[in-house]
């Protein structure tokens, strides 16, 4: 049942007063507080990267749930580029989805064990066989390992996990509050694929739904649009970047514009499910066209504004991998490298504009 009665919608406020927080929330928040305060002392910008899909449980003792396609590639890859750019990163990801650094070896197309060889023991010695890294994989592994160790030593990566859409919503609010002390030095990069629908606790069956009645009809509620509260109440002057995924390319720009209009944040990055690794569009307000919150500046990539709306679109494209690897190396261009470079530039301008 919806909080204000049958058929009514959850607002952000009614959501948080009726749906229970995850058990680990207080613990997670205390670790985040420590992390943010250390980064603040060390003068770093901090970005919250959300990544991966959310589940929607159908029962309290969960046997079944709805899920979505997201593997967390966008978030994990972007987190690495933010770290490389000197940011501290709070990586809030779906449990078991891809993570920065280990992502290079988690995928079934690049299995970790294929990088290792067994070195036979030398003739006549009783020493057991040893392992070593396959020769032509060493350079890449060394690069990944070096970056990973550097980040570990600097203490600039903090990871948090969620599973359900409820975990996600509670964590997002709590982390945003903690991060808001950094004001303009904080960025929110919302790449997770969050369910638009959920089953409120009050509507859930306690035990496994029985199949005896034949077909199953479940009416879900809409997940509240929390971006408005995030922009107006939780994040103060943080630089907020949301993503918009569509499967009909024609809808991307209009829906991204509508989101900016409605929530008043800085950037929407639009992507098409089937082209998301090679093409994205940045949608933002034109210079001089103020958001409800403050003015934002434009970045340096090619702009496309074919009408006289108050928005500007900047398309970012790379070649699909078959044509882009540099011969003789493992280097494959990733679109997140350019997405992050563009955002870092825009964020710098955002910070300067607030001085
Ligand atoms: O996780 P992934 O790399 O496979 O996909 C990334 C993505 C498409 C989920 C992300 O770029 C995105 O668009 N997230 C927001 C989705 C949405 O709520 O519209």
Confidence class for position 355, pLDDT limits 50, 70, 90 = confident
Q: Report whether pLDDT(44) > 70.
A: yes
User: Which tokens sit at 238?
Assistant: 């943080």
Residue spans of alpha helices (H) in 159-314: 165-179, 227-229, 252-263
| Closest atom of ligand 1 to CA, residue 191 | 14
| CA gap 343, 157 in Å, rounded | 19
Please tell me the distance between residue 145's alpha carbon and the centre of ligand 1 in angstroms: 27
pLDDT number for residue 204: 95
Q: What is the pTM of this model?
A: 0.91
Please tell me the distance between residue 193's alpha carbon and the centre of ligand 1 in angstroms: 5
Residues 313-323 as b/e (b if ≥16 CB within 10 A, e otherwise) read bbebebeeeee
DSSP-derived secondary structure for 29-78: HHHHHHHHHHHHHTT--EEEEEESB-BEESBSS-S-EE--S--SHHHHHH
Asked which of 57-66, 111-120, 324-333 is least confident by mean pLDDT, the reply is 324-333
- Average pLDDT over every residue of 310-337: 80
Beta-bridge partners for 133: 116
Residue-wise pLDDT for 219-245, tens only, equals 999 999 999 999 999 998 999 999 999
Confidence class for position 296, pLDDT limits 50, 70, 90 = very low
Asked which of 5-9, 15-19, 169-173, 328-332 is least confident by mean pLDDT, the reply is 5-9
pLDDT number for residue 113: 87
Q: Which CATH architecture best describes the domain 1-100+154-226?
A: 3-Layer(aba) Sandwich (3.40)
Q: Report whether pLDDT(338) > 70.
A: yes
| CA gap 149, 272 in Å, rounded | 34
User: Which tokens sit at 314?
Assistant: 């900047």
pLDDT number for residue 236: 85
Please calculate the CA angle 266-270-271 and round it to the nearest 5 degrees.
155
| CA gap 236, 81 in Å, rounded | 25
Q: Measured on CA atoms in the order 143, 159, 53, 183, is the torsion positive or negative?
A: negative
Confidence class for position 3, pLDDT limits 50, 70, 90 = very low
Question: Longest Cα pair distance anywhere in the chain, in angstroms?
Answer: 81
For the Cβ of 165 lying below 6 angstroms from any atom of ligand 1, the answer is: no
Averaged pLDDT of the chain? 90
Residue whose Cα lies nearest atom 4 of ligand 1: it is 70
Residue-wise pLDDT for 156-205, tens only, equals 999 999 999 999 999 999 999 999 999 999 999 999 999 999 999 999 99
Please tell me the distance between residue 133's alpha carbon and the centre of ligand 1 in angstroms: 33
Q: Report whether pLDDT(26) > 90.
A: yes
Please tell me the distance between residue 189's alpha carbon and the centre of ligand 1 in angstroms: 11
Q: Domain-by-domain residue ranges, the chain?
A: 1-100+154-226, 238-355
User: Which tokens sit at 310?
Assistant: 């108050």
């Amino acid at each position: 049942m919806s909080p204000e009665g049958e058929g009514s919608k959850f607002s952000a406020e009614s959501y948080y007063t009726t749906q229970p927080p995850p058990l680990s929330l207080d613990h997670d928040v205390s670790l985040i507080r420590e992390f943010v305060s250390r980064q603040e002392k060390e003068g770093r910008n901090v970005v919250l990267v959300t990544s991966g899909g959310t589940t929607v449980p159908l029962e309290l003792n969960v046997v079944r749930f709805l899920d979505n396609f997201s593997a967390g590639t966008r978030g994990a890859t972007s987190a690495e580029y933010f770290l490389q750019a000197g940011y501290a990163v709070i990586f809030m990801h779906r449990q078991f989805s891809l993570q920065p650094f280990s992502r290079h070896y988690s995928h079934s197309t690049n299995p970790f064990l294929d990088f290792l060889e067994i070195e036979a023991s030398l003739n006549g010695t009783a020493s057991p066989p040893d392992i070593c890294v396959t020769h032509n994989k060493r350079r890449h592994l060394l690069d990944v390992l070096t970056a990973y160790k550097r980040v570990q030593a600097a203490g600039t990566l903090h990871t948090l996990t969620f599973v359900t859409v409820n975990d996600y919503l509670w964590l997002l609010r709590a982390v945003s509050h903690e991060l808001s002390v950094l004001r303009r030095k904080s960025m929110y990069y919302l790449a997770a694929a969050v369910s638009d629908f959920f089953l409120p606790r009050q509507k859930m069956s306690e035990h496994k739904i029985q199949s005896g009645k034949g077909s199953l009809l479940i009416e879900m509620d809409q997940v509240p649009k929390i971006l408005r509260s995030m922009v107006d109440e939780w994040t103060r002057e943080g630089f907020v970047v949301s993503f918009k995924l569509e499967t009909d390319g024609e809808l991307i720009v209009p829906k991204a514009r509508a989101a900016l209009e409605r929530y008043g944040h800085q950037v929407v990055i639009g992507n098409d499910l089937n082209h998301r690794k090679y093409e994205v569009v940045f949608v933002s307000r034109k210079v001089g066209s103020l958001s409800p919150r403050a003015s934002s500046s434009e970045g340096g990539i090619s702009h496309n504004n074919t009408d006289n709306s108050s928005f500007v679109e900047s398309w970012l494209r790379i070649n699909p991998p078959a044509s882009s690897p540099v011969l003789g190396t493992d280097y494959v261009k990733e679109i997140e490298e350019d997405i992050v470079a563009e955002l870092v530039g825009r964020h710098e301008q955002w910070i300067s504009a607030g001085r």
